[in-house]
Amino acid sequence: MTLVATEDLRRQNVAAVLRSLRHDGPGTRTELARRTGLAKATVGAIVGSLSDRGYVHEADAVPGVRGRPGRPVVLTGATVVGLGLEVNVDYVAAVAVDLGGTVRLETTVPVEGRDPYEVLVDLARTCDSELTEAGGRVVGATVAVPGLVDRGRGVVAMAPNLRWKDRAVAGEVGALTGLAVAVENDANCAALAEARRGATVGLGQSVYVTGTVGIGAGVITDGAIVRGTSGFAGEIGHIPLGDSEALCGCGRRGCWEASVGLRAVLTAAGVTESGTPLESARAVAARASEDEEVAGALARIGTVLGQGIATVANILNPDAVVLGGYFVPLASYLLPAATATAEGHVTSTPYAPLDLRLSALGLGAAAAGAAEEALTGVFSGATPL
């Protein structure tokens, strides 16, 4: 076996142990050998090496166990960090997650008339600096974007609301920040975050529906993102549903997004957009609490929302559909009509009722998922520790 092949095998074995600790929790060396299929001696050598570098530690033995109880190995890795960045029309969010899954940084910056791209670069630099000063090492950064993303080339093929087309975001941001940058669709990232630490933990298949200026979906099956042949799956905001004359940011008329996206809600409520989508949505909720006509307009939007949810549920039959972004603050006004409409159109309802949930992660969901994606190389063995 060549030196290169031996090193590749070692990385794969280390990654297998790390994945087991991250996804299945702490375990003794014997348990890790059983989980990974590796020899106990191999696991012992890997644990020793990881422990020497501060990536794991062995907890006290469990009391009351007969014989010589093993000591559970616990993943820490606070010095190894993945950075997730979500860029949107109104805000740029950042979340940093370490090897053990602990959130090390979380912030959202309003765009406020600036170029979102400039805000993105500035925030990436600031976060990298803060994490480095705190003793962390950013092994990768993933930028979540609301649009069609060619992950292989690191290019945003089309993000109409940002007015980006064929933009080499990964290469450009990487060159400006010095980070190893990848790019991913925002709904995919949010769906991954909800599956790892949010509303859909433990479910086999789930769909996350974004609620910002744009509407998209991220699909998770058995813990992995479903991207489709070209990586463009989930663009549900552009199905022809709702007001056939409503102009969408993509340039077409009649897209679902144009009828249920944040701007449609603001127009219906007569509220001016301000700050993040959540802040704008709270202003709409305040208006609706005092104005029955606004509340009625939101209910009508909820009906169209429910039609789209039913379409998605009929195609994919997921364990749950999660609504994120602005849908959460306006749930009391949108969900009654949306749920009733969706349940009336989902064919499986008599046998498997629709499970409609709200995001547990708020506006940081996409950035949190992007941070998880940024650590993928470590857990696959592609990125050496």
Picking from 302, 321, 298, the residue whose alpha carbon sits closest to that of residue 234 is 321
In this predicted model, what pLDDT tens digit does every residue of 196-244 receive, in sequence order? 999 999 999 999 999 988 899 999 999 889 998 888 899 999 999 999 9
Q: Which residue has the higher pLDDT, 280 or 274?
A: 280
In this predicted model, what pLDDT tens digit does every residue of 50-76 receive, in sequence order? 999 999 998 875 554 454 567 899 998
Q: Phi-psi region for residue 362, left (φ > 0), alpha (ψ -120 to 50) or beta?
A: left
The pairs formed by 343-352 with CB atoms below 8 angstroms and a separation of 24 or more are 344/306, 344/310, 345/306, 345/307, 345/310, 345/311, 345/314, 346/310, 346/313, 346/314, 347/314, 348/313, 348/314, 348/317, 352/317
Indicate whether 373 pLDDT > 70: yes
pLDDT at 25: 92
In this predicted model, what pLDDT tens digit does every residue of 149-169 receive, in sequence order? 999 999 999 998 899 999 999
Q: Tell me the pairing of strands 137-145 and 148-150.
A: unpaired
pLDDT at 67: 47
Which domains are seen in the chain, by residue range? 3-75 (1.10.10.10), 80-190+366-380 (3.30.420.40), 201-359 (3.30.420.40)
pLDDT category of residue 273 using cuts at 50, 70 and 90: confident
Alpha helices in 53-185 (DSSP H): 116-133, 169-177
pLDDT at 70: 76
Q: CA–CA separation, 238 vs 258, rounded Å?
A: 8
pLDDT at 62: 56
Q: In 10 A of CB 92, how many CB atoms?
A: 25
Q: CA–CA separation, 166 vs 144, rounded Å?
A: 15
Joined tokens for residue 264: 């449609």
Instruction: Quote the distance between the C-alpha of residue 66 and its chain's center.
Output: 43
HSE (side-chain half, CA atoms, 13 Å) at 86? 34
Alpha helices in 291-374 (DSSP H): 292-316, 331-345, 365-374
Joined tokens for residue 134: 């705190």
- The residues pairing with 356 across neighbouring beta strands, listed in sequence order, are 321
Terminal Cα-to-Cα distance of the chain (whole angstroms):
23
pLDDT at 264: 95
Q: CA–CA separation, 220 vs 191, rounded Å?
A: 7
Q: CA–CA separation, 16 vs 38, rounded Å?
A: 9
In this predicted model, what pLDDT tens digit does every residue of 287-334 receive, in sequence order? 999 999 999 999 999 999 999 999 999 999 999 999 999 999 999 999
- Torsion 118-124-127-128 (CA) sign: negative
Q: CA–CA separation, 36 vs 52, rounded Å?
A: 21
Indicate whether 138 pLDDT > 60: yes
pLDDT category of residue 274 using cuts at 50, 70 and 90: confident
- pLDDT, average across residues 278-291: 95
In this predicted model, what pLDDT tens digit does every residue of 13-22 receive, in sequence order? 999 999 999 9
Q: CA–CA separation, 364 vs 301, rounded Å?
A: 24
Alpha helices in 211-270 (DSSP H): 256-260, 262-269
